[in-house]
Amino acid sequence: MTQERNIDFKKFPVAGIRLGVACAGIKKGKSTSDRSDLVLIEIAENSHTVAVFTQNAFCAAPVVISKKHLTLSSPRYLLVNTGNANAGTGEQGIDDAISCCDMVANVASVKTSEVLPFSTGVIGEYLPVSKFQKAINSAYENLSEDNWESAAKGILTTDTVVKAFTRSLNINNQTITISGIAKGSGMIRPDMATMLAYIATDAKLGQGLLQNCLLDAVNHSFNRITVDGDTSTNDSAILIATGQSGLELAKDSAELSAFQGALTEICEELAKDIVRDGEGATKLISIAVSGCKDDKEAKDVAFTVAHSPLVKTAFFASDPNWGRILAAVGRAGVTDFDLSKVNIALDDVYIVRDGGKASDYSEERGQKVMDKSDITIHIDLGRGDKEIMVWTCDFSYDYVRINAEYRT
């Protein structure tokens, strides 16, 4: 089994998936001539589609409708708009989301329940439904299997870079492709985040097996990132299997394991790109926690450090103020905490050994690590065999500016 990484979507299209983009003028301050803000994704018949959504109890209207439509039909189209989240909009928001699904259904001659809506942008404003019909028509007319990169650009909000990856796997002399795009930059917190992700493969998997693959990949990627600790109302991750490669993946097979590995890798790359592009971020910080008694303990320690404003601002300043990390570990709620067993390192530079300052640590060595743009914090509690990897970023002046000016 071999796998290849590439971002050339024209080289590795996913059979059974076509994408179209259009400018609807939904995002404020952008004219319809210079901003793609509507994306339409067409899914071939007989495909399987699964999803995971935000854990925020305040679900946006498109999340509510997408969940409902998934119980009624097998999706044929995904409709994505940026610039307006259609969240906090009550019954009108529900009606507006359904109206947009109706527009796609009429153009494509499918059922309304075969369309899933997705929105991202400002919360609390009604969707400008009048702007959708013309843009939907345009997106439908330019549907193409080569439009992955254009679609990746069309789903961005405050993002500064496109997040897209594709993989080709050779399994038993048959080639399958997995491609994915995502958006996300702020209001990023696990379970999920202010993110949208669309991933497709031409492999053939049953609905239940496909859902398990997505859940496993998400739990090792999108659910392990945080920019600011805020969970959005609109988060969605979609996985589509068209089956058009002809290669069927069976439960517990080596072939499925290879597919799962590649899918998880794509999700991890997209997730890390979201963190790298965190609003105002200048550093990607990986937090590797080990030596824990159970998964919850590992997760609590990792995210306490990841969410600490003092830790995050120290990294922005490239200040090796390691006491902030130690303090965050200490308030993570670990029971029977034994400080004497704790070891902490920045990359390969130990700052804490056996609960105290490492004897070979120097400010100069710490500074060399802190000056990097990609840094790993290693935290070993020395009390078990459970571990976790979490990704976050620093807090900069620009994070405050971007979010203070978000609606202006």
Active site (catalytic) residues:
194
CA distances from 30 to 78, 344, 407 (A): 23, 47, 13
Q: Which of 86, 75, 81 shows the shortest CA–CA distance to 113?
A: 75
The owner of tokens 């970023």 is 393
Cα(85)–Cα(62) distance, integer angstroms:
8
Around Cβ 23, how many Cβ atoms within 10 Å? Answer: 21
Cα(369)–Cα(365) distance, integer angstroms:
7
296-319: string of b/e by CB count within 10 Å (b at 16+)? ebbbbbbbbbbbbeebbbbbbebe
Around Cβ 380, how many Cβ atoms within 10 Å? Answer: 18
Cα(270)–Cα(146) distance, integer angstroms:
19
Cα(284)–Cα(104) distance, integer angstroms:
39
Contact indicator for 369, 285 with CB cutoff of 8 Å: no
CA distances from 386 to 18, 45, 190, 264, 299 (A): 42, 43, 19, 20, 10
Cα(117)–Cα(69) distance, integer angstroms:
9
Rg (CA), the chain: 22
